[in-house]
């Protein structure tokens, strides 16, 4: 099993009487790209700031790359790269000057600086921009510079807070692809409230609402959990009445309900709900074969990530300081 890179247990942050983050617990393992998902004000940025030692937790514990955020904050910062929502750039420097400055404050050995710079320039596609002032760059290229500064010291973990905020559609696609490439070599937490962002880049999702963790799993697992055990069955019309097929499907072991629905011309379409978590695709296929039905489609359905997100965050009742 892969190594646990981030371990969070009961992490809590209060701003006076307002609790921004309430006893959240989760783990992130080596090589995962974790989507940290929630509506505005849910506590995402506050959690990220605690993991990066910018904020001290009120209660709970967190370990990053094996180091405690309370007792070993310097070691935590040495082992992670952080791109906050407001990218920390000096706009009066050229891109090259800024990245050289980051190498300096990261105290990288001089012998390693040029190779690291070349690699980050290649990975982030910054070659044509090295001589330009950071302030003259488009938002997309500024995000690329921000990613380069977050990774130039080759951290084990990269935390990205709303990395595509304010970008145009083409820039968003480019940054998503870059995040995927980064995720092949490092553990990544991507904090966002943009659902396509998570679906396009993340292998696992944690959803936070009202400062509390409300879901943890892969997008497929969360979708199946919310929709239940549901199947779409499409059968070609071949002489067997629709009602007779529906009756046989409804009487199968493990089937709670079979409902008829509109389908394409020449077909019968049914929605079949299972009574439990057992996969019914094989029994449904066998029923079609045994009864001589021409099975055109058999699909296990799941709720979309948008459905899951709306259900879990609709009534989070978030109020108070921006989290």
Q: CATH 3.30.70.1340 region(s) of the chain?
A: 229-301
- The pLDDT tens digits of the residues spanning 234-270 come to 999 988 999 999 999 999 999 999 999 877 889 999 9
- Indicate whether 297 pLDDT > 90: yes
Q: What is the mean pLDDT of residues 19-39?
A: 93
Residue 235 near residue 249 (C-beta atoms within 8 A): no
- Phi, psi dihedral angles at 39 (to 5 degrees): -70, 170
* Per-residue burial over 114-129, b = 16 or more CB atoms within 10 Å of its CB, e = otherwise: eebbeebbebbebeeb
SS3 category, 185: coil
What is the arrangement of strands in the sheet containing 187-192, beginning at the earlier edge strand? 80-83, 157-161, 187-192, 33-37, 204-209, 212-217
The CA-based diameter of the chain, rounded to the nearest angstrom, is 79
Element spanning 270, H or E: strand 267-274
Residue 317 has pLDDT above 60, yes or no: no
| pLDDT in the model for residue 261 | 85
Contacts of 184 (CB under 8 A, 6+ apart): none
Predicted pLDDT of residue 227: 64
Contact 295, 235 (CB under 8 A): yes
In this structure, whether the domain defined by 229-301 belongs to CATH 3.50.50.60 is answered with: no
Per residue in 103-161, pLDDT tens? 999 999 999 999 999 999 988 889 999 999 999 999 889 989 998 999 999 999 999 98
* Distance separating alpha carbons of residues 142 and 304, to the nearest angstrom: 32
- For residues 197-214, average pLDDT: 90
Q: Which residue, 39, 84, 54, is CA-closest to 319?
A: 39
Please state the separation of Cα 230 from the chain's center in Å: 25
Q: What would the two tokens of residue 55 be? A: 């904020």
For 156-194, what is each residue's pLDDT tens digit?
999 998 888 777 888 788 888 888 888 888 899 998 878
Angle between the N-to-C axes of helices 219-227 and 305-313, in degrees from 0 to 180, rounded to the nearest 10: 70
DSSP for 282-305, please give it. Answer: HHHHHHHHHHT--EEEEEEE---H
For CATH 3.40.50.300, the residue range(s) in the chain are 4-224
pLDDT number for residue 176: 83
191: phi then psi, degrees, rounded to nearest 5: -95, 125
Calculate what percentage of the chain has a pLDDT beyond 90.
Answer: 64
Q: What is the mean pLDDT of the chain?
A: 89
Exposure on the CB side of residue 144, measured as CA atoms within 13 A? 27
Fold of 4-224: Rossmann fold (3.40.50)
Its pTM stands at 0.74
The pLDDT, as a whole number, for residue 321 is: 45
Q: Tell me: the pLDDT tens digits for 279-288? A: 899 999 999 9
């Amino acid at each position: 099993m892969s190594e646990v890179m981030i371990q969070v247990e009961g992490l809590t942050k209060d701003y006076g009487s307002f609790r921004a983050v309430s006893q959240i617990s989760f783990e992130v393992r080596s090589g995962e790209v974790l989507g940290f998902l929630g509506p505005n004000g849910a506590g995402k940025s506050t959690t990220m700031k605690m993991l990066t030692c910018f904020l001290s937790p009120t209660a709970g514990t967190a370990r990053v790359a094996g180091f405690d955020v309370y007792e070993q904050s310097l070691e935590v910062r040495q082992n992670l790269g952080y791109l906050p929502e407001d990218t920390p750039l000096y706009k009066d420097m050229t891109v090259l000057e800024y990245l050289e400055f980051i190498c300096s404050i990261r105290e990288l050995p001089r012998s390693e600086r040029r190779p690291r710079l070349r690699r980050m320039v290649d990975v982030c596609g910054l070659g044509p921009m090295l001589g330009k002032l950071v302030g003259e760059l488009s938002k997309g290229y500024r995000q690329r510079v921000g990613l380069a500064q977050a990774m130039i010291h080759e951290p084990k973990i990269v935390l990205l807070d709303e990395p595509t905020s304010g970008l145009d559609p083409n820039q968003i696609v480019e940054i998503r692809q870059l995040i995927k490439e980064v995720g092949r070599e490092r553990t990544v937490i991507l904090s966002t409230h943009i659902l396509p962002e998570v679906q396009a880049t993340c292998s696992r999702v944690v959803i936070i609402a009202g400062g509390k963790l409300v879901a943890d799993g892969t997008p497929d697992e969360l979708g199946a959990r919310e929709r239940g055990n549901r199947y779409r069955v499409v059968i070609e019309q071949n002489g067997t009445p629709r009602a007779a097929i529906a009756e046989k499907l409804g009487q199968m072991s493990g089937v709670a309900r079979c409902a008829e629905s509109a389908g394409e011309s020449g077909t019968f379409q049914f929605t079949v709900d299972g009574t439990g978590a057992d996969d019914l695709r094989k029994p449904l296929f066998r029923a079609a074969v045994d009864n001589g039905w021409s099975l055109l489609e058999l699909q296990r359905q799941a709720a979309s990530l948008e459905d899951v997100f709306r259900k879990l965050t609709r009534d989070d009742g978030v109020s108070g300081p921006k989290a």
